[in-house]
Structure 1
Amino acid sequence: MQDWDNLRIFLELTRSQGLVDAARKLGIDHSTVSRRMKRFEQQVGSQLFDRNNHGYKLTAEGYRLVEYAEKIESTIYAAAEQLGGQNSKLSGQVRLGATEGFGTFVLAPQIAHFCARNPHITVDMLPMPRFVNLSKHEADISVSIERPLSGNYVVTKLSDYVLKLYASGDYLARHAPINDVSDLAQHNFIGYIDDLVFSEELRYKDTVAPDAFRAFRSTSVVAQYTAACSGHALAILPCFLAQQSDKLVPILQSQVSITRTFWLVAASEQRHVARVSALWSYLRECIELNRAFLMGQAPHMQSLR
């Protein structure tokens, strides 16, 4: 238990796809990882992994150790930053997770400016059509459409955002006019796949037009946006995404306007690590600057310089 390096190997093995993947990330041979973990289990006096043909699976004792090991890891990293003078020269890696559309179309351009400001920080961007799991260390910070109800996290409201109903001008010219919500039943929609939707916050189509047929479904909001631009169906899209295209126009703006919220989340032990804190503050600043854009009240996004 006295050897931090064994704890480091243990944590990487819990986070990786398997023994070979962990060894690659650690820069050592996979046989060394296996040998070190067997020795580590002897030291702690408990079996930490069940080993089978499918890889390494944590035992109950292994899960209990993860919590303590992560606290030690965070303390060591925080101490290294403070003692190494990293607060005066920010450096290192920060991993940022976000929903796919927001991460790709809003955060990515802003992060480019952050990296220009902080040339010694590397930002890994994870725009995904699902929740990013902070407890499994998939990211240091995440932007989520749901506020975590449990867990040791620091959470703040980042911003509200608005979704509206959109169609291409070409679609509107070729199909029946839309003057009221009741007209939507005559039109095809683009939306999410019901049994694969990752949050109840995304089930807005059934509220707006429950009887309309979904001609195209996807887990990806970017795919939905692209399909809407092609001119074959209607779609409910975030304004910050739809406004990227000159082809899409909002429909029934006074009747269809849906507000959702983005939450900024970080594990408590990571929140005050200098490089994480710098990105956290930057995100709040640049999103505040673009609040009107996210609410569909401004046509273009602004960047901090």
Structure 2
Amino acid sequence: MPAEQINWDNLRLFLSVARAQSAQEAARRLGLDHSTVTRRLHRLEKELGAQLFERTPAGHVLTTAGHRLLEHVERMESSMVLVGEDIGGDSHTLTGHVRLGATEGFGSFFLAPHLSHFCERHPAIQVELLIVPRFINLSQREADLAVNVERPQGNGQVCSRLTDYRLRLYASRRYLDSHPPILQTRDLGAHRFFGYVEELVFSPALRYLAAIAPDAPTPLRSTSVVAQYHAVREGRGLAVLPCFMAAQSEELMPVLAHEIDLLRTFWIAAPGDRRELARVRALWDYLREVVACNRPLLLGEPGAWRSVQ
């Protein structure tokens, strides 16, 4: 079909359904009736002469033709956004929304407080912080940029080392005062631990408990490091935690800090076309700025929390 005969509004609707994986959810986001969305999807498929979605009980799944169209439409979307930023280049006010994906502990304990300052610096930018205990799928446009514990391998992404961070073994003061002393690693077998649900750990970088205390009882396991943090604060066991999390509780104390010292890396990544958007670049640069200012905190060294206005 000639390009001039394609209804561009229907392509925008197609993009929304592809990202939501649901016509009903796309209709809600667009402020349209569900019947209107499905009718216009059928019209687009008829115009293109191809089925774009498989309608399943779980939602709308892209067909091979749908995936090909999605690539074209996303490039069109990015080009139009860049055109808008270029034409409006005389204005120094950055606008729009940016979705940032992050791991749970880093997103909740480090990024969220700093992002409040970023929003004050750029009041016309709306930030959406997506915190999940898994990898963010940038190829499926789950976010505009993401911070992960492994270097992303996807094609078409801009990736950089954001910062190293340290983890140590922690217990509460109450726990240490009421249980046998821990003087060396072999003493750990007599203590209880909180850790991850082993089969649901999303990265080998998080499988450290088995190497530290393989035979120690683990009465509570969770997919959430924040849940482990709160469990340790209750004084019922030990857990390996990022130093930047543990530092926010005066109750938590490092255990065998010289023997148990784990270093990991956070990576920042964005799809190549999204990385060029001014608002995404602004957030990318801000994150690099705040981790540089808080390097001692992230590495478990003496140093106070520093905000960046």
Query: Do Structure 1 and Structure 2 share a fold, with TM-score over 0.5?
Result: yes
Q: CA deviation at 1:87?
A: 5.5
Which of 50, 55, 61 lines up with 1:51 in the alignment?
Answer: 55
Kindly provide the CA deviation profile for residues 262-298 of structure 1, in whole angstroms up to 9, marking residues without a partner as x.
Answer: 0011110000101111111111011111111100003
Q: Retained in 1: the 8 A contact 2:159–2:268? A: yes
Q: Retained in 2: the 8 A contact 1:81–1:87? A: no
Which of 238, 243, 250 lines up with 1:239 in the alignment?
Answer: 243
1:158 is the counterpart of 2:162: yes
Q: Retained in 2: the 8 A contact 1:160–1:260? A: yes
Q: Retained in 2: the 8 A contact 1:156–1:265? A: yes
The residue identity in structure 2 corresponding to 1:33 is V
Q: Which residue of 2 aligns with 1:284?
A: 288
> Which whole-Å CA distance do the structure 2 matches of 1:68 and 1:206 have between them?
46
Q: CA deviation at 1:86?
A: 7.1
The residue identity in structure 2 corresponding to 1:174 is S
Q: Retained in 1: the 8 A contact 2:166–2:300? A: yes
SS at match of 1:135: helix
1:230 is the counterpart of 2:234: yes
The residue identity in structure 1 corresponding to 2:248 is Q
1:134 is the counterpart of 2:135: no
Gap regions ≥5 residues in structure 2: none
The residue identity in structure 1 corresponding to 2:271 is A
Which of 267, 279, 282 lines up with 1:275 in the alignment?
Answer: 279
Kindly provide the CA deviation profile for residues 152-190 of structure 1, in whole angstroms up to 9, marking residues without a partner as x.
Answer: 100011000000000011111111111111111111100
The residue identity in structure 2 corresponding to 1:124 is E
Q: Retained in 2: the 8 A contact 1:87–1:274? A: no
Q: Retained in 2: the 8 A contact 1:243–1:299? A: no
Q: Retained in 1: the 8 A contact 2:138–2:146? A: yes
Kindly provide the CA deviation profile for residues 40-89 of structure 1, in whole angstroms up to 9, marking residues without a partner as x.
Answer: 11122211112244432211211222122211111111111211337621
Q: Retained in 2: the 8 A contact 1:162–1:260? A: yes
Q: CA deviation at 1:299?
A: 4.5
Aligned in 2, Cα 1:87/1:209: closer, same or farther, shift over 3 Å?
A: farther
Q: Which residue of 1 aligns with 2:123?
A: 119
> Which whole-Å CA distance do the structure 2 matches of 1:296 and 1:86 have between them?
43
Aligned in 2, Cα 1:17/1:63: closer, same or farther, shift over 3 Å?
A: closer
> Which whole-Å CA distance do the structure 2 matches of 1:156 and 1:294 have between them?
17
TM-score by length of 2: 0.95
Which of 249, 252, 268 lines up with 2:256 in the alignment?
Answer: 252
1:64-213 superposed matches below 5 A: 64-85=68-89, 88-213=92-217
Counting matched residue pairs gives 305
Identity %: 50
Which of 46, 53, 69 lines up with 1:42 in the alignment?
Answer: 46
> Which whole-Å CA distance do the structure 2 matches of 1:53 and 1:202 have between them?
34
Q: Retained in 2: the 8 A contact 1:240–1:296? A: yes
Gap regions ≥5 residues in structure 1: none
